Amino acid sequence: MSRPQPDSLSLKEIFRQSGPSGKTALILSTWFGAGLFPVVSGTFGSLAAVPLVLVLQYAGLWYHLFILAAVTCAAIWASDLTHKLMDRKDPKEVVIDEVAGFLLTMLLLPSSWLALGLGFFAFRFFDILKPFPIRQAERIKGGLGIVLDDLLAGVYAYASVRIILWGLG
């Protein structure tokens, strides 16, 4: 495993100096580069998850559950290693946590463009606003803390979209 790097090194330098596990963690944690956008990287990370969500909505519940579990485990590992490599608590470039949270949001929602749009905006809303206990989850150290707040935002977003869809009838 590579050593933590000072902030003065660019992500490109950290990638170059990392071993295979560090490179893998950086690729996954940035969700294949979606987290490298200079602004609103979390929104781009969530957008980059849309194709996966669309495929999973038609693949079925068990596939969605399996991929959600796999992405969540990968997110915890990759986020933990990336934050150590970058020597920052919750690097903005890490967006795999948004992918896991958005996958959770969409898990049991109907397959429709309305549900997808509502799910996306509700997830981003709760991920940014961070109502109780989401903000408190950020205090947990390492990859688990980085991912847990997004999973909780996914739960809030799911519940909100369910209520909206129920109200629309």
Residue 13 has which token pair?
């330098």
Residue-range definition of the domain harbouring residue 40: 11-168
pLDDT score recorded for residue 9 = 66
* Mean pLDDT estimate for the chain: 93
pLDDT over 70 (residue 13): yes
End-to-end CA distance of the chain: 53
In a domain, 4, yes or no: no
Question: Quick check: 44 and 95 in contact, CB under 8 A?
Answer: yes
Number of separate domains in the chain: 1
Mean pLDDT for the stretch of residues 148-166: 97
Quote the radius of gyration of the chain (alpha carbons, Å).
16
In a domain, 1, yes or no: no
Give 87-133 pLDDT, tens digit per residue.
888 899 999 999 999 999 999 999 999 999 999 999 999 999 999 99
In a domain, 33, yes or no: yes
In a domain, 2, yes or no: no
CA distance 53 to 134: 23
pLDDT score recorded for residue 5 = 43
**Maximum distance among all Cα pairs of the chain, rounded to whole angstroms:** 55
